């Protein structure tokens, strides 16, 4: 479970940094691009990727290409969703992508669910809705639902594909991670250069610095997430559920203490239900081990 705790911590810090980006007028797309460059450096320095078993066919594996495309694309779509529908509704769409992850655990990875896990997941689903519930103002335009749908599907797909990456044994998973970062960086760099040429968007040093900080925690988030899947390879739903629910709890506490956000009674009820869900899911895992 230590890998999950570390992954949740890094994920929450990434969310805090993205929230602060608007306040300090940071170009999120540029920061995201340099975050992948920094992640590439961290991967090369700490893990020294093994390219001896790497060949052209493996490097162009559909799984690597899909994740390499999805990572920067979902960052960008998430930015559009925040602008068009607000932070609250975008967060709901992102966290409810847990449904996709759990469906994959059951139908693709053939994981068996016991009663404790079923009850825990039910509490978890209710907790997610209660915890992130907000009253919305004016109705959104008729096309904004598409951004939320793409966020929902995108984050769920990323979770599932990372589970597939953790099962690849032909090359070390750290090498796989390095390749994914490279693909994501090349695509992101191409996009910001396109914007610089066509839209005359300035590439600023401050965005590079913020991108390096973002890359450090983003690297940690993905790395520990993969390690959690490896450590609990027979219980992918435990990783899926605990990660999403844990981020909601930690993010809510950070919002209350650091950003002075106000939570309703329904939100606090959701936090309690989330704690119950995590206990039930954890007990389910311990029961399975016995």
The contacts of residue 182 (CB under 8 Å, 6+ apart) are: 40, 68
Give a yes or no: residue 23 inside a domain.
yes
Q: What sign for the dihedral angle of Cα 150, 237, 164, 176?
A: positive
What is the Cα–Cα distance from 125 to 122, expressed in whole angstroms?
5
Give a yes or no: residue 253 inside a domain.
no
Give a yes or no: residue 147 inside a domain.
yes
pLDDT in tens, the chain (290 residues): 788 889 988 988 887 887 788 778 889 899 999 999 999 999 898 778 877 766 666 666 788 888 999 999 998 777 677 666 655 566 667 776 777 777 787 778 777 777 877 887 788 788 777 766 655 544 444 566 677 788 888 988 988 898 888 777 778 878 888 888 999 999 999 999 999 999 888 889 999 999 999 999 988 887 787 788 778 777 666 777 777 777 777 777 777 777 776 667 877 787 788 778 777 776 776 555 55
The contacts of residue 169 (CB under 8 Å, 6+ apart) are: none
The contacts of residue 29 (CB under 8 Å, 6+ apart) are: 75, 76, 79, 188, 191, 192, 195
For 4-43, b/e burial (b = at least 16 CB within 10 A) is bebbbbbbbbbbbbbbebeeeebbbbbbbbbbbbbbbebb
Instruction: Give the Å distances, CA to CA, from 15 to 75, 95, 192, 238, 254.
Output: 11, 13, 22, 22, 10
pLDDT for the residue numbered 139: 47
Decide: 76 and 177 in contact? Cβ < 8 Å: no
pLDDT for the residue numbered 88: 58
Structurally, the chain folds into a number of domains equal to: 1
Give a yes or no: residue 49 inside a domain.
yes
Unique residue bearing structure tokens 């520990």:
224
Q: What are phi and psi of 112, to 5 degrees?
A: -85, 140
What is the Cα–Cα distance from 177 to 162, expressed in whole angstroms?
9
What is the Cα–Cα distance from 77 to 83, expressed in whole angstroms?
10
Q: What are phi and psi of 3, to 5 degrees?
A: -65, -35
pLDDT for the residue numbered 287: 57
The residue among 82, 217, 218, 211 whose CA lies nearest residue 150 is 82
Tell me the residue range of the domain where 95 lies. Answer: 2-112+137-231
Give a yes or no: residue 45 inside a domain.
yes
Q: How many CB atoms lie within 10 A of CB 112?
A: 10
The model carries a pTM of 0.76
Give a yes or no: residue 81 inside a domain.
yes
The residue among 285, 161, 194, 157 whose CA lies nearest residue 231 is 285
Give a yes or no: residue 31 inside a domain.
yes
Q: What sign for the dihedral angle of Cα 100, 106, 109, 113?
A: positive
Give a yes or no: residue 283 inside a domain.
no
């Amino acid at each position: 479970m230590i890998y999950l705790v570390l992954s949740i911590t890094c994920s929450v810090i990434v969310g805090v940094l993205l929230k602060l980006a608007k306040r300090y007028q940071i170009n999120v797309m540029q920061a995201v691009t340099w975050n992948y460059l920094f992640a590439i450096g961290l991967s090369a320095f700490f893990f020294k990727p093994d390219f001896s078993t790497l060949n052209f066919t493996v490097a162009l594996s559909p799984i690597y290409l899909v994740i390499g495309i999805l990572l920067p694309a979902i960052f960008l779509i998430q930015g559009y969703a925040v602008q068009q529908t607000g932070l609250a509704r975008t967060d709901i769409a992102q966290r409810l992508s847990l449904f996709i992850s759990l469906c994959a655990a059951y139908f693709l990875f053939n994981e068996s669910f016991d009663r404790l896990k079923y009850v825990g997941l039910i509490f978890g689903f209710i907790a997610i809705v209660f915890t992130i519930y907000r009253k919305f103002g004016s109705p959104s335009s008729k096309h904004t639902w598409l951004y939320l749908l793409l966020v929902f599907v995108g984050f769920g797909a990323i979770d599932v594909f990372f589970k597939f990456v953790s099962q690849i044994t032909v090359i070390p998973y750290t090498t796989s991670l390095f390749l994914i970062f490279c693909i994501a960086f090349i695509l992101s760099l191409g996009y910001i250069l396109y914007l610089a040429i066509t839209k005359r968007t300035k590439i600023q040093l401050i965005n590079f610095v913020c991108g390096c900080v973002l890359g450090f925690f983003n690297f940690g988030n993905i790395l520990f997430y993969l390690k959690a899947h490896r450590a609990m390879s027979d219980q992918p739903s435990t990783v899926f559920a605990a990660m999403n629910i844990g981020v909601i709890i930690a993010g809510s506490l950070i919002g209350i203490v650091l950003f002075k956000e106000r939570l309703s009674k329904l939100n606090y009820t959701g936090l309690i239900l989330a704690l119950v869900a995590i206990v039930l899911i954890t007990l389910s895992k311990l029961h399975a081990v016995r």
